[in-house]
């Protein structure tokens, strides 16, 4: 069997207007900047720990997100995974991410991901706190476990490419006393941009998404 090739990718979005900013190709340790809009006060960073190794068994890959901007922000994250391989005609074909209702590549999420992020039911996970300037989330992913490609059910995946994409979007949060009607400002801004209304507890910075 040819060597299995796997790729883990992280996509970081810098967003007041939902603009994707930085793409980090983890497997090849390459960073490509494709900024389409310069946002002076919002800057996101993907913080990752990745141990290069043979892309099989369990691969260490933990991911968190940092607000490198100068303003407090609301955060949401989405991820997409794909399995791709070439058919007999050298055409790219997509394989299913699941077999018998079980993920082919098992993403081993952290407890913090369950506790600190709310599933919006729209493909996005919403951070349950305002992320302050300079602040970081706890890591959300520990590693990814790949199947045993010698098993009959997974043999078709042995020469396929696996990609895991994370997209992060940040939106400025109004938390200071200088902002009049900040509850209304935050609710309307988050509803307009994210399609969800953010209710903030300013004592704890906790966010309830509706």
Task: Give the chain's domains with CATH numbers.
Answer: 9-184 (2.60.40)
Read off the tokens for 10: 């992280």
Q: What is the pLDDT of residue 118?
A: 98
Read off the tokens for 101: 């209702």
Query: Per-residue pLDDT for 199 more than 90?
Result: yes
pLDDT tens digits, one per residue of 45-60 = 877 776 655 557 888 8
Residue 26 in contact with residue 9, Cβ under 8 Å? yes
The span from the CA of 34 to the CA of 207, in Å, is: 31
Confidence band (pLDDT; 50, 70, 90) for 190? very high
Confidence band (pLDDT; 50, 70, 90) for 178? low
**How far is CA 191 from each of CA 30, 50, 94, 121, rounded to the nearest angstrom?**
35, 35, 34, 15
In the chain, DSSP assigns E strands to: 9-14, 19-25, 30-33, 44-50, 58-67, 73-86, 92-95, 98-99, 102-103, 106-109, 117-119, 125-127, 141-145, 161-172, 198-201, 206-209
Residue 12 in contact with residue 170, Cβ under 8 Å? no
pLDDT tens digits, one per residue of 113-166 = 999 999 999 999 999 999 999 999 999 999 999 999 999 999 999 888 888 888
- In the block, tokens 């900040």 appear at 182
Q: What is the pLDDT of residue 12?
A: 46
**Helix, strand, coil fractions of the chain, as percent rounded to 5:** 15, 45, 40
Residue 180 in contact with residue 166, Cβ under 8 Å? no
Confidence band (pLDDT; 50, 70, 90) for 70? confident
Residue 96 in contact with residue 83, Cβ under 8 Å? yes
Q: Which 3 state secondary structure label does DSSP give 22?
A: strand
């Amino acid at each position: 069997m040819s060597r299995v090739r796997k790729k883990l990718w992280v996509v970081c979005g810098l967003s007041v207007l939902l603009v994707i900013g930085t793409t980090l190709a983890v497997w090849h340790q390459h960073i490509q900047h494709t900024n389409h809009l310069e946002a002076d006060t919002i800057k996101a960073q993907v913080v990752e720990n990745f141990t290069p190794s043979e892309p099989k068994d369990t691969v260490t890959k933990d991911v968190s997100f940092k607000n490198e901007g100068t303003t407090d922000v609301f955060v949401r994250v989405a991820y997409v995974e794909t399995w791709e391989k070439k058919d007999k005609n050298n055409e790219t074909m997509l394989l299913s991410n699941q077999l018998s209702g079980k993920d082919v590549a098992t993403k081993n999420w952290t407890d913090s991901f369950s506790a600190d992020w709310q599933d919006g039911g729209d493909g996005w996970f919403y951070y349950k706190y305002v992320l302050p300037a300079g602040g970081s989330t706890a890591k959300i992913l520990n590693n990814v476990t790949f199947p045993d490609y010698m098993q009959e059910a997974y043999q078709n995946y042995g020469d396929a490419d696996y990609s895991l994409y994370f997209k992060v979007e940040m939106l400025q949060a109004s938390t200071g006393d200088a902002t009049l009607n900040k509850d209304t400002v935050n609710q309307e801004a988050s509803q307009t941009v994210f399609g969800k209304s953010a209710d903030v507890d300013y004592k704890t910075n906790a966010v309830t998404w509706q």
